[in-house]
């Protein structure tokens, strides 16, 4: 009887939970309200701050509450070119300028956007990582949908009513600089979660991993594994459609 493999322990064990004590808060668009649906609302960027465990900086934006005498602070994704003291406009009638939030239907084709909603009102779920962006490809006015090109190169159709921020997420080129030493990688992942260092399966013992053991480090069995295999055996290339190196050029429509 072997041990539970690490990917099984990840689901249940507390030592693999994300480290959230120093995080600044959830980064979301404003909750959709009357002002955004019919006009616009103005906010001011109070400061641009670092969020531990996140590659991109975030902006603390302050809005006046429309219903009571108070100010609302929101954490938004920081776009390239944003600065503290800048005025941001959110809503259907906001202008098309960097950092503003407006429905995709109000944007012309070819607009570069980020922090896009997957569904209306989810407050942003697509293209949020540092240096990423999506592109508005086409609008289908009959169906009320819009086709987007995602950072992965894939295409996605969303409702034309969903909101997005204009511009590219700040912090691009972060991965161009090498980590150089183990200490840099240690601190990078210490604020994320317990996922480093990553030990290869073939370097483990037979009780700890299906690929472990044997003289010379080798898998000794096919690395592909079926989708329905039990969780202790489901390691390697799970439900692989194809294997081997990619040949030819990727065609993006």
Beta-carbon contacts of residue 53 (< 8 Å; ≥ 6 apart): 18, 19, 22, 23, 191, 192
pLDDT for 1 beyond 80: no
How high is the pLDDT of residue 13? 82
- pLDDT tens profile 40-91: 999 999 999 999 999 999 999 999 998 899 999 999 999 999 999 999 999 9
How high is the pLDDT of residue 22? 95
**Above pLDDT 90, what percent of the chain?**
91
**Above pLDDT 70, what percent of the chain?**
98
**Residue 174: count of CB within 10 angstroms of its CB:** 12
- pLDDT tens profile 104-141: 999 999 999 999 999 999 999 999 999 999 999 999 99
How high is the pLDDT of residue 168? 98
pLDDT for 251 beyond 70: no
Over residues 86-106, the mean pLDDT reads 97
Give the per-residue SS3 of 45-79.
Answer: EEEEECCCCCCCCEEEEEEECCCCCCEEEEEEECE
pTM for the whole structure: 0.89
**What is the overall mean pLDDT for the chain?**
95
């Amino acid at each position: 009887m072997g041990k539970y493999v690490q990917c099984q322990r990840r689901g249940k064990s507390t030592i693999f939970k994300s480290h959230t004590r120093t995080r600044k808060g959830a980064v979301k668009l404003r909750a959709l309200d009357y002002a955004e649906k019919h006009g616009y609302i103005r906010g001011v960027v109070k400061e641009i701050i670092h969020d531990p465990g996140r590659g991109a900086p975030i902006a603390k934006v302050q809005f006046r509450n429309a219903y009571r005498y108070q100010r609302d602070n929101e954490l938004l994704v920081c776009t390239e070119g944003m600065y503290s003291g800048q005025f941001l406009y959110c809503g259907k009638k906001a202008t098309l300028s960097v950092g503003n939030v407006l429905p995709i239907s109000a944007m012309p084709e070819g607009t570069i956007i980020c922090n896009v909603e997957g569904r209306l009102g989810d407050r942003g779920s697509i293209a949020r990582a540092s240096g990423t962006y999506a592109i508005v490809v086409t609008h289908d006015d009959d169906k009320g949908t819009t086709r987007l090109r995602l950072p992965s190169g894939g295409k996605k159709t969303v409702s034309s009513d969903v909101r997005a921020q204009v511009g590219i997420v700040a912090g691009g080129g972060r991965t161009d600089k090498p980590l150089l030493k183990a200490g840099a990688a240690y601190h990078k992942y210490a604020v994320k979660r317990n996922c480093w260092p990553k030990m290869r399966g073939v370097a483990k013992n037979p009780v700890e991993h299906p690929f472990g053991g044997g003289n010379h480090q080798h898998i000794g069995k096919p690395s592909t594994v079926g989708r329905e295999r039990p969780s202790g055996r489901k390691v390697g290339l799970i439900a692989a459609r194809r294997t081997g190196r990619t040949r030819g050029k990727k065609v993006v429509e």
